[in-house]
Amino acid sequence: MLARVQVGARLNFLHIGRSLLGLMLGAVSLSGCKMQPTEAQLNGWREETIARNTAALKTRASQTKERPWSLVIQGQTSTGKPVILTWEQIRSLATTHVLTKEPHNTKDLSEVLDFRGMAISQLLDTVGVAPNVTEVTFVAFDSYRSTVQLADLKRYPIILAIERNKQPLPRTEGGPIYLVFPHTQYPKLQTPYGNSFWLFYTTHMIVGTEAVQVQVGDRKFDQATLDRLPQTTMTETVGYKIGWPNSKVKLQGVRVRDVLAAAGISLSGNNRLVIQGKAAIYQDQARAVYLTAKDVETCDILLATRWGENLQPIPARLGGPVTLAFPSACQKQTTAQYWVTFVEKLQVITP
Ligand SMILES: Nc1nc2c(c(=O)[nH]1)N[C@H]1C(S)=C(S)[C@@H](COP(=O)(O)O)O[C@H]1N2
Ligand SMILES: [Mo]
């Protein structure tokens, strides 16, 4: 059975593996039985996905009303290859009910609501978790993120909900996919996972942290390739929010200028360099983060991959493995002073 890739928020995510409908359903009904697709199957599916995405992009303009949602599962899974669940698959996997109060309930905080969604423990069983992974990070359409301990996801029915009291979750209330914690049944989850962890409009589930991979033009850079370029450090108050220290933080990486040169790209005239983060919001033309030739020439804007005194890799919990960083010396000069997390792609456009 061929699953369709939805014309959705992440059309531009061309490197996503095909969804594994059979695998997902199999794992749910057989519980615990881990079937794995072969490498050849995965490659075939990815190619199909790319072809379909390309076709879908063409019809996107006419599809402005409905926005079918999908969920990308990626990071340190058994295969390390991203899996995309279509809305149809999500609906059929959403069989777990959680009866709980909701910290965002604007009417009555004591009201117990019936949420229906996908049990994250089941999703994890299906995709597999690499050894040493301790946390899972969820990313939303608006680039907000929420990180949950793996042990808690395995132990408690924490779900990606699509319905509340039998009604689909409206976009204005965190839908269509909303991260819900069983606060009422397990009150001890209330402290570690308060309000701010209930992620609205979830689009990605990242197991552990992804490997460094940035596409620049038609080149791909991994950590080893980036490490061959001149390394720069800066110590700044970061603009990423969520989980970063408020005090100045050391970041290390390569200058955008040097990465462009390594990719054989020269930014000139009114060309713009679009910085594509994982969140769908960056694909909205009006909200895209871009740099001009002048920004890149006059400012040591960094693609950071390490942080802190020990220059550790940047974990998904902090929006890593690759983030965009601005030295304070030139923050005001740059067109876009947005500290992008989960940087995946730098792309030149001519407006
Ligand atoms: N996708 C997304 N989810 C999110 C947020 C957000 O900005 N985007 N804010 C979080 C924070 S900090 C809080 S306090 C609550 C805000 O919920 P409220 O708007 O109902 O007060 O949602 C959480 N989930
Ligand atoms: Mo908040």
Joined tokens for residue 194: 């308060």
Distance 169 CA to ligand 1 centre (A): 15
Residue among 246, 268, 247, 248 at smallest CA distance from 257:
268
Q: Residue 21: phi, psi to the nearest 5?
A: -60, -50
Residue 201 CA: which ligand 1 atom is closest? 1
Pocket of ligand 1 (CB under 6 A): 104, 140, 142, 144, 195-196, 198-201
Distance 281 CA to ligand 2 centre (A): 19
Residue nearest ligand 1's atom 12 by CA:
196
Q: Report the C-alpha gap between 234 and 300 in whole angstroms.
A: 9
Burial class (CB in 10 A: 0-12, 13-18, 19+), 45: buried
Distance 138 CA to ligand 1 centre (A): 13
Residue nearest ligand 1's atom 24 by CA:
199
Parallel/antiparallel/unpaired status of strands 159-164 and 113-119: antiparallel
Q: Report the C-alpha gap between 58 and 44 in whole angstroms.
A: 22
| pTM assigned to the model | 0.81
Q: What is the pLDDT along the chain (351 residues), one digit of tens a residue?
A: 333 333 333 333 322 333 333 333 333 333 333 455 566 655 655 655 555 555 554 444 344 334 579 999 999 999 999 999 999 999 999 999 999 999 888 888 999 999 999 999 999 999 999 999 999 999 999 999 999 999 999 999 999 999 999 999 998 889 999 999 999 999 999 999 999 999 999 999 999 999 999 999 999 999 999 999 999 999 999 999 899 999 999 999 999 999 999 999 999 888 999 999 999 998 887 788 889 999 999 999 999 999 999 999 999 999 999 999 999 888 776 666 689 999 999 999 987
Cα dihedral 252, 336, 146, 15 sign: negative
Residue among 88, 84, 91, 76 at smallest CA distance from 45:
84
Residue nearest ligand 1's atom 21 by CA:
104
